[in-house]
Amino acid sequence: MKTYILKRLLSGLITIWFIATATFVGMHMVPGDPLANPKATSPEIQKNLEARYGLDKPLVTQYVIYLGNMLRGDFGISFTQKNRRVNDIIREHFPVSATLGVLALLIAAGGGVIWGAVTAVYRDRWPDAVIMLLVVVAVSVPSFVFAMLGQLAILKLNELMGFSLLPVAGWGSLSHMWVPALVLGLGTMAYLTRLMRSSMLEVTNADYIRTARAKGLPGLRIFFKHQLRNAILPVVTVLGPAIAAITTGGFVVELVFAIPGLGRYFVQAVQQLDYTVIMGTTVFYGAFLVLMVLAVDILYGFVDPRIRVGKRGG
C-alpha cells in the first residue's frame, strides 16, 4: 500500500508538471503581446516593462523562472486588476467554489445512490421508468438551461409566496447555495444514478445474495448490508472524475447565479486575456483535480479490501 501511494504521488507530480508545461506552451502561443499598449509607449518603457516581467529573456529561461515560481506557489500579479496577486484571487474565491462544489457533490452522490437503488429495486416497473427517463433528460439538457430554469423557478416561487423565500442570485448564506448546488450536481447525479442502478442489478444476481436469502436473513438487512454496500463501490471510483465535472461545471452556474467563485473569475480572465490569472488558475485547478483523483484512488484501496493495489502497481 505504501509503495502504491508513493508511486501514485510521483506520477501525480509528473502530471502536474505536464499540466504546467502545457499551460506555458499554450499561453505562449497566444497571438499578441500582453504589454502591447494602444497608446504608443516609448521603446525604453517597453523594454523596462519586458525586463520587469522577464519577457526579454530567452524562452527556456522564462520557462525555468515560471516553473520556479510555480514550485514556490507564486502565480504572479494580475494583468488587469490593480494590485491583485493571483494567489490572493485564488485564496479569496476558491473557497466559494469549493463550498458550492462540496454541496453539489453531496447532493449528486446522495441522490445518485438513492435513485439508483430505487430504480434497481423497482426494476422494469413505473418508478424505474420514470427515474430513468428523468436521467436521460438530465444528461441531455445543457447545464446553463438548468441554471436559467432554476433561477426562473426561484423567481416564480418568490412571487407565489409573496415574499423572498430564496435569493435569486448572489452569495452569502446557505439559502444562496441550495439551487445553484442542485443545478451543479444534476448532471453528475444522473450519471451516478445510472451507474448505481447497473451496479445494484449486478450485485442482485451475485451468489452471496442468494446465500444470504437462503440463510433466511431479513430482506432489509440483505439490502443494506450486502447489496447496497457492495454496489456503492463503483460509485466511489468515479468520484474523482465527478469532482472534475463539478468543478468545471461551476463556471456556468457561478456565471448565471452571480456567485463570486473562482470559475467566474477564470471566465472573466479569459475574456480579458489576463495572462497570469489564466495560467495560475489553470495550473491550480489542474493540480487540484490530479490530487482529488489521487485521493479517491487511494481511498478506494482502503474501502475495497479485495483490491491489492500495491501489488498491481501504478
Partner 1 sequence: MNLFRPTPEDLLPLAKTAAAEVVVRPSLSYWQNAWRRLKRNRRAVVSLYTVLLLLLFSYAAPLLFALDSSSQDLTQLSQAPSLERRSRVVDPMPWVGRFAAHSPAERLAVVENLQVVGEPHTEFVRLIWSPVAGASYYRVWRHILQPSGATDLGLPLGDTESVDQVSFEDLLKLETVTYYYSVEAVGPDGQVSPYSTVKVHPRHGISVEDAISRGLIKAEQRERAIGTEVTLKPHLLGTDYLGRDMLARLVRGGQTSLFIGVVAPLLFVSLGVVYGGLAGYLGGRIDEVMMRFADFVIALPFLLFMILFRVAMGIGPGESGIVPMLLALVLLGWPSAARLVRGQVLQLREQPFVEAARLMGAGSTYLIFRHMLPNVMGVVLVSLTFAIPSAIFTEAFLSFIGMGVAPPTPSWGSMCNDGVKSFMSHPHELLFPALMISITVLAFNLLGDGLRDALDAKIDK
User: Of these, 273, 291, 298, 307, which contacts partner 1 (CB under 8 A)?
Assistant: 273
Contact window for partner 1 (CB under 8 A) among 38-46, 209-217, 228-236, 268-276: 268-276
Cα(120)–Cα(192) distance, rounded to whole angstroms? 13
Closest distance of CB 211 from partner 1, Å: 26
User: Of these, 64, 130, 137, 165, which contacts partner 1 (CB under 8 A)?
Assistant: 137
Q: What is the dihedral of CA 306, 241, 132, 145, to 10 degrees?
A: 170
User: Of these, 53, 63, 122, 144, which contacts partner 1 (CB under 8 A)?
Assistant: 144
Q: How many residues bind partner 1 (CB under 8 A)?
A: 43
271 contacts partner 1 (rule: CB under 8 A) = yes
Cα(59)–Cα(61) distance, rounded to whole angstroms? 5
Closest distance of CB 78 from partner 1, Å: 16
DSSP assignment of 119-179 equals HHHTTTSHHHHHHHHHHHHHHHS-HHHHHHHHHHHHHHHHHHHSS-SS-SS--SSHHHHHH
User: Of these, 1, 6, 10, 26, which contacts partner 1 (CB under 8 A)?
Assistant: 26
139 contacts partner 1 (rule: CB under 8 A) = yes
User: Of these, 142, 170, 172, 219, which contacts partner 1 (CB under 8 A)?
Assistant: 142
Closest distance of CB 278 from partner 1, Å: 7
136 contacts partner 1 (rule: CB under 8 A) = yes
Positions in 218-257 near partner 1 (CB under 8 A): 244, 247-248, 251-252, 255-256
Closest distance of CB 119 from partner 1, Å: 15
Positions in 168-197 near partner 1 (CB under 8 A): none
270 contacts partner 1 (rule: CB under 8 A) = yes
Contact window for partner 1 (CB under 8 A) among 28-36, 60-68, 176-184, 297-305: 28-36
Closest CA to 194 of 153, 229, 246, 235: 235
Contact window for partner 1 (CB under 8 A) among 108-116, 157-165, 196-204, 267-275: 267-275
Nearer residue to partner 1 within complex by CB, 64 or 137: 137
User: Of these, 98, 141, 228, 258, which contacts partner 1 (CB under 8 A)?
Assistant: 141
Q: Which residues bind partner 1 (CB under 8 A)?
A: 14-15, 18-19, 22-23, 26-27, 29-32, 136-137, 139-145, 148, 152, 244, 247-248, 251-252, 255-256, 266-267, 270-271, 273, 278, 281-282, 285-286, 289-290, 293
